[in-house]
Amino acid sequence: MKRILFLALAALAPVLITGCATTGGGFGPYHVTAYKPHNPDNVSVYVSKSKQQVYVMEGSRVLMAAACNVGLPDKPTPSGHFRVEEKIPNKRSGSYGFSVSGGMVTPCDAGECHGSYVGYPMPFWCGFEPGYGFHQGYVWPVPRTHGCIRLDKQVAPRFYELVHEGTPVDIAETQPMDSSVGTVQRPHDYEDPDPAPSYMISSGPFQKPPGDLLIAQ
């Protein structure tokens, strides 16, 4: 069902930020540790597309290393040097989402809804290029997005706390941290049942994990 929902939504939306599924309720067994930077202005982000891993660094200090999900071969995540341009914690897509009418919630393109339109949730959005950004979503073991970089629901809010507008972002096929950090644990929430449409139009997808997001060290 999740694959069907993913393909249906992707077919409805022609823009680059499509195919950006989010995750359901609960935070599950997956966990990642994120450390508070000594100087937020020294934070940098590195994405390894071949490893599908993201590293948040403060100089040579690893603040967080986590799994991510990058773009499909025909809709690749761009490579290059960027900066975080915007942060929107409760972002919803303006191109595709759900039609809400008479108690029914169905997927739709924003321009073809027959009821009230509610955009697909893309929690903890950190945009680095028009149409591209980091955000919460299912982290598959293979490239799956339409160019965005998806982060697990344990990772996305921590990433959001670590970066600010202007934080450098380097995206490449490989990164030096691939060997120094090694392979990180990957989540398996893409195997979970599909979240209910009623959940997707609620505030549920935008909840942060309990407890402190960053650890002082």
The DSSP string of 150-181 is: EE-TTTHHHHHHH--TT-EEEEES--THHHHH
Radius of gyration of the chain (CA): 17
Q: From the CB of residue 59, how many other CB atoms can be counted at a distance below 10 Å?
A: 12
- pLDDT of 48 strictly over 90: yes
- pLDDT of 194 strictly over 90: no
Q: For the whole model, what pTM was predicted?
A: 0.87
Which one has a higher pLDDT value, 1 or 120? 120
Whole-number average pLDDT of the chain: 89
Per-residue pLDDT averaged across 71-78, rounded?
97
50 to each of 32, 122, 179, how far by Cα in Å? 20, 23, 12
Which one has a higher pLDDT value, 6 or 147? 147
- pLDDT of 14 strictly over 80: no
CATH number for the domain running over 2-202: 2.40.440.10
CB 200 within 8 A of CB 121: yes
pLDDT band at 17 (very low <50, low <70, confident <90, very high): very low
Most confident of 100-114, 119-133, 185-199: 119-133
pLDDT value, residue 161: 98
pLDDT value, residue 30: 86
- Distance between CA 64 and CA 57 in Å, rounded? 7
